[in-house]
Amino acid sequence: MLQTVVAPGTTVGQAIMASGLLELEPALREAELRAGVWNHRAALDAMVREGERIEVYRPLTVDPKEARRIRADVRRRRGSKKG
């Protein structure tokens, strides 16, 4: 988690840029940035208020349903080896 102090009137997008996150995670520079504040989607031009937690949402690499199916298959296989 990065903590960044920004001036009043800073937007979500500006705060993300100021945090240095895009330098730490270059793949985010290539993706369409999606962000939120306290688990609610927020536009990049929304103003940040004091104490808010800004979240950057990464694009999904695997469909969530497919990921659950794969995890269930792995658990099933591990369970059958014990018996």
Instruction: Tell me the C-alpha to C-alpha distance, in Å, between residue 55 and each of 35, 52, 83.
Output: 5, 10, 44
In a domain, 4, yes or no: no
| CA angle 45–47–20, rounded 5-degree value | 75
In a domain, 7, yes or no: no
- In a 10 Å sphere around its CB, with 0-12 CB exposed, 13-18 middle and 19+ buried, how is residue 12 labelled? buried
Average pLDDT of the chain, as a whole number: 89
The parent domain of residue 34 ranges over 12-82
Q: What pLDDT does residue 17 have?
A: 92
Q: What pLDDT does residue 78 have?
A: 87
Q: What pLDDT does residue 80 have?
A: 66
Q: What pLDDT does residue 59 have?
A: 79
In a domain, 46, yes or no: yes
Q: How far apart are CA 71 and CA 73, in angstroms?
A: 5
* Number of separate domains in the chain: 1
In a domain, 38, yes or no: yes
H or E stretch covering 55: strand 54-57
In a domain, 77, yes or no: yes
Q: Residue 34 belongs to a domain with what CATH number?
A: 3.10.20
Question: Per-residue pLDDT tens for 51-61?
Answer: 999 999 987 88
Residues of the chain with pLDDT under 50: 83
In a domain, 41, yes or no: yes
Q: What pLDDT does residue 83 have?
A: 47
